Amino acid sequence: MNEVRVPKTATARGSILVISAPSGSGKSTLTRRLMRAFPGLSFSVSYTTRAPRAGEKQGRDYFFVSQKVFKRMIARHEFVEWADVYGHLYGTAHRQLQAAQEAGRDILLDIDVQGHRQVRQRLPGAVSVFILPPSFRELERRLRRRHSDAPEEIARRLHTASQEISRWPEYDYLVVNDRVADAAQALRAIVRAVRFRRPNQAGRARQIVSTFGG
């Protein structure tokens, strides 16, 4: 009897997950919880022209580069998205996303609404989540409670938040960060669902189908 050969299991293609939120919405806290919940989830390290802040490390928090280097990367079309944020340039390198996907790793992008629009145009398979504060008043309270910004900076952030929140219809999922535990649970559910989308599992499905013959 001929032996049926079962091909080596294919690696599911990794997903690209974009998370955006106004400043003060708790995105950083939720992102840290998500990374702890999924050890295999990679974080996309952005390039930036701003100077490192206290405690930040090259290659871990950002790739810190000069304006000249950043603009050279733009000219070479190396970014899948880039934006000018408060006078500093930020961008996501395409090769980083491609390497993660091909290795079957999901990768998380923490970018603003400008970057999200570019990603959706160039990578339509990306899945996006917008994190909303419960209300304008609560967002203002959170920003003031941080005691890290001057009043004029808080006013600027609130004005920007009003513009960003108007872009919520462009996202696939919406999560209201009223209670951190509930919002974190919602994000975990989204990641699990994304991993089992048909395009991500297509390679494995084809291998299984091939074992049926015919």
- How much is the CA Rg of the chain, to the nearest whole Å? 20
In 3D, which of 98, 101, 108, 97 has the Cα closest to residue 131?
108
Report the alpha-carbon distance of residue 204 to residue 140 in Å, rounded.
47
Q: What is the pLDDT of residue 66?
A: 97
Residue 165 belongs to a domain: yes
Q: What is the pLDDT of residue 9?
A: 53
Provide the mean pLDDT of the chain: 90
> Bigger pLDDT: 83 or 72?
72
> Bigger pLDDT: 11 or 83?
83
What CATH code is carried by the domain that includes residue 123?
3.40.50.300
Q: What is the pLDDT of residue 172?
A: 97
Interval 127-165: pLDDT, tens: 999 999 999 999 999 999 887 788 998 999 999 999 999
What φ, ψ does residue 12 adopt, rounded to 5°? Answer: -65, 140
Q: What percent of the chain has pLDDT over 70?
A: 94
Per DSSP (E only), the strands in 12-102 are 16-20, 42-43, 47-48, 63-64, 79-85, 88-93
pTM: 0.85
Residue 57 belongs to a domain: no
Residue 180 belongs to a domain: yes
Residue 75 belongs to a domain: no
Contact indicator for 102, 73 with CB cutoff of 8 Å? no
Q: Which domain holds residue 199?
A: 16-44+106-210
Residue 141 belongs to a domain: yes
Does the pLDDT at position 197 exceed 80? yes
Residue 67 belongs to a domain: no
Q: What is the pLDDT of residue 1?
A: 38
Residue 144 belongs to a domain: yes
Total structural domains in the chain? Answer: 1
Instruction: Characterise 93 by phi-psi region: left (phi > 0), alpha (psi -120 to 50), beta (else).
Output: beta
Residue 119 belongs to a domain: yes
